[in-house]
Structures are given as C-alpha cells and as structure tokens.
Amino acid sequence: MSSDQIAIRVQGLSKCYPIYEAPGHRLKQFLMPRIDTFMGREQRKYYNEFWALKQLDFEIRKGETVGIIGRNGSGKSTLLQLICGTLSPSAGSVETRGRVAALLELGSGFNPDFSGRENVYLNASVLGLGKAGIDARFASIEQFADIGTFIDQPVKSYSSGMVVRLAFAVIAHVDADILVIDEALAVGDMVFTQKCMRFLRGFMQKGTVLFASHDANAVVGLCDRAIWLRKGEMAGEGTASTVMQSYLRASFQDTYGDALTFQPVGATEEPASAAGGDDVTARFTDNLTQSPGWQTGEAEIESVELTGEDGQPMAAFQGGEVVNLSIRARCSVSCTSPILGWFVKDRLGQVLFGEHTFTHAPPPMLVPAGGGLVARFRFRLPMLPNGDYAMTVSIAEGTPEDHVQHHWLHDAMLIKVASTKMRYGLVGIPFESVTMEQV
C-alpha cells in the first residue's frame, strides 16, 4: 500500500503503565534509581509493569471504516487515545494523516465549569478551527446537539446523554479527515442515535472512521474491517463478519472457562453464495457441513430444513407465504433444558429476524444421552431485498439469560434472493393492495 493511501499507520505500538503496590513506592521510584546510579549500583524497580498494548502493527486506508473489538481491558481505549495523541506510546509509533476528531471518554475535552457554548468554542479550537470558522458553524452545532437552553448552562449540570450530544455535534462540524469513536453511540435516545448514524454513513463516503464498540451488529453493519484486541495483543484482523465470528466464539470460551472446550467446526473461508436463476425469489441451500462455528461435543445440530405450508420441499419461495422450519439435534450427554434457536442475517452480518424455543416451549425437557429432539417453527416468510443471506442455528442448555451454547453454526443455510420486484429497507412486507386516486 503506497503512503499516500494510508490514513493511519501503527508500527510496533506498545504502551506500559507502572503499577505501584503502595503510595510510598512512587516516591521511592522517583528517588532511589538516581541514588543507585550515583552509588554505582544496579537500579532497583518499585513497580510492576502492566502492558496495555504489545507490539501492534496495522495500516488503515483512507476512506476505510474499521472496528476495534475486544473485551473490557483489552486495550481498545488505550489504542484510540494513542492514535488521537492524548497518550504517548512506550514503544513504537503512530502516524496519522489529516485532521483527527475524536469522541473518547464521556465528556473528555470539556471543562465542567464552562457553559456548553464556551465548551463548543474550546473543543472546536483544539480540533483546529478558528473563531470565524466556529462562528459560521455554531448554529448548526447547536441544532445538531438539540439541548435547548442548556447550551448556556455549565456542562457539570448536563446528563450523560446531553454531554454526548454536544461532543458529537462538535466533531460532526469540524471537517475532520479521520473520525475516532469509543462507544459513544451507546449513550443517547433513539432519535439522537439515528441522527448520529446518518452523519456517520455520510462521513464514511469521504473520510476514515475508527470505531470501538461491544455492539456486534454496529461493528458488522458499519465497518469494512475489524481488529480484535485480546489482552493488549492483536488477536485477529480481517473482514468485520469473520473477525466477529472468532471473537464471539472466544468470548463464550472465556465465559465458561475450563468447564467446556469449544472446538471450531466447518469451513474457515467465507461461505459461497447459493445458486439461483433470475426468476427465483428466494432459494434456500443446506450448508450444514460447511458452516463455520464451534461445539462442546455435548450436543449437535443434525439437520435444518425449510418446507412449504404443506410440509413439502419447495424449489423457491416468493416471500409472504407460510413456511415450516425444522431443526433436529442430538445430545451426547443428558440435557435438562435444551433450547434450539436460529436467526437470519444479511451479507453484513446484521440480524434481521429469528426465534428460539424457550419463548414458546420453555424447559424443563429431559433428553437422555444419545437422545434426539426436533424444533418446528411455523411462520410467514418475510420478503427480502435482493442479495445473499445466511441462517445461524444453535442448540443451548439453560435459559436465555444463563445458558451454555453447545453447538453454534453461523451459515447452516444460505439464502439467495433475486426478484424483479423492487423493495426497500432490510425486510419487505407483502401488500394486499396499493392504490392512488385524485380527490
């Protein structure tokens, strides 16, 4: 990749924090190494090293949207602060090209005793705007934040949502080249979140976005690529959907610890699209043997089948008709509370619809070792816009709030939709009639 295509370059980046066991050790660390050097002795160390980041190397192209994922304490916020320049690295380097605007910790960069208006001028000037530029943009910033008369009140009187509104309004109007966001969209009401998403999607057409979040749908839906951090190290990098699959499996493994071991199953490459002609509305293809996922070995999905209302296989579906979905599984050990579930996702990995058995047929159900079970779902198939889709299926044990995922398959069934009917949105609806008349 040529240098003029790079927006962010990270090379050998590491960050170490000293951890002191007692307050007095800070004073000792300040004084004793100097005394040791003067006396010709080996310098003593009065702290433990905590490496928040270790030897990170990656590049982000101009115009890319990249998600940073990882559990709490994995180093996401530290990485973003290093990229923004609010922290200095212990080793390695960070190179950014263009103006960087960041929304990091809640209210960072705001003086709580200043009014919202004063903080707008302070924050925007730090991001590189002069007073004339801020004056020209202030009305738009105030309208975007939509906090009313609070704009002239001290920020310390704001709610957390109001602080985010004002901070986001500023970075949305400073003409940045690189936008860095750390979980900020998790705070705020639906209307404000939708406003932020519209701005982000517009910015993504021209700028570079670095987005850290725990929201899998947000990362997969917004980002071209994802970087997975684990204990300060690079655990994965690639397409957002592929990295998120690996992260999800590892998160389950970390949750259950040594009690269960999740083994990867199925293909590791991106699933192929299902075959289908131009006259097909929706064709479902069994992909069970090639599905990437994981399993504990205690229960296994055996088959997934979708049929028409009469229970007979169909070559294609039009959308809007009643269908039957059957998921068969077998338990290798006795299961007391099995749950079979599924959901359909689009090519970006966004979940569109789905269901599980606990909602309609809650356990207990004792299935002996070697016993099988089948879940049947009868529903009206939605209409989907043209494209490729996949169905994730799983068998778990427990409750929706507290369970163990024994077998998880990301692409158990592939769906190819190709129709001459124009539809809008993520999921379409069948219309009984549409008329228009002059009155």
User: Can you give the CATH number for the domain in which 282 is found?
Assistant: 2.70.50.60
Give the C-alpha separation, 287 to 197, whole Å: 34
**Contact predicate 435/388, CB 8 Å:** no
Beta bridge partners of 59: 9
**Which residues on adjacent β-strands are paired with residue 355?**
342
Of 407, 65, 410, 415, the closest CA to residue 245 belongs to: 410
* 366 conformational bin, left if phi > 0, alpha if psi -120 to 50, beta if neither: beta
The pLDDT of residue 159? 87
208-212 and 65-69: which strand pairing? parallel
Locate all alpha helices (DSSP H) within 172-215, ordered by sequence.
190-203
Specify if 314 maps to a domain. yes
Strand partners, 409: 293, 393
Is 277 among the domain residues?
yes
Q: How many domains does the chain have?
A: 1
Q: How far apart are CA 69 and CA 80, in angstroms?
A: 12
Give the model's pLDDT for residue 272: 41
Higher pLDDT, 340 or 245: 340
Residue 322 lies in a domain: yes
Beta bridge partners of 259: none
pLDDT value of residue 275: 43
Residue 270 has pLDDT above 60, yes or no: no
What pLDDT score does 107 carry? Answer: 59
Q: What is the pLDDT of residue 230?
A: 92
Task: Tell how strand 233-239 and strand 263-265 pair up.
Answer: unpaired
190 — pLDDT class (breaks 50, 70, 90): low
In a domain, 163, yes or no: no
Asked whether residue 1 is assigned to any structural domain, the reply reads: no
pLDDT for residue 279 is more than 70: no
What are 244-255's pLDDT values in tens digits? 888 888 887 776
Whether the predicted pLDDT of 51 surpasses 50 = yes
| pLDDT band per the 50, 70, 90 thresholds, residue 276 | very low
The whole-angstrom separation of Cα 246 and Cα 225 is 13
Of 69, 374, 54, 52, nearest in space to 249 by CA: 69
Rounded Cα distance between 18 and 11, Å, is 22
Range of the domain at 382: 262-417
Cβ-in-10-Å burial (0-12, 13-18, 19+) of 7 comes to: buried
Query: Does residue 153 carry a pLDDT above 70?
Result: yes
Q: Buried b vs exposed e over 219-238: b needs ≥16 C-beta within 10 Å?
A: bbbbbebbbbbbebbbbbee
Kindly state the tokens that stand for 278.
Answer: 């131009």
Rg (CA), the chain: 27
pTM above 0.75, yes or no: no
CB of 320 within 8 A of CB of 430? Answer: yes
pLDDT tens figures, 62-109: 999 999 999 888 999 899 999 988 899 999 999 999 889 888 765 567
Specify if 357 maps to a domain.
yes
Residues 6+ apart with CB under 8 A from 360: none
* Mean pLDDT score of the chain: 84
Residue 205 lies in a domain: no
Percent residues over pLDDT 90 in the chain: 37
The answer to whether the beta carbons of residues 423 and 318 sit under 8 Å apart is: no
Tokens 């800070």 found at: 26
Would residue 27 count as lying in a domain? Answer: no
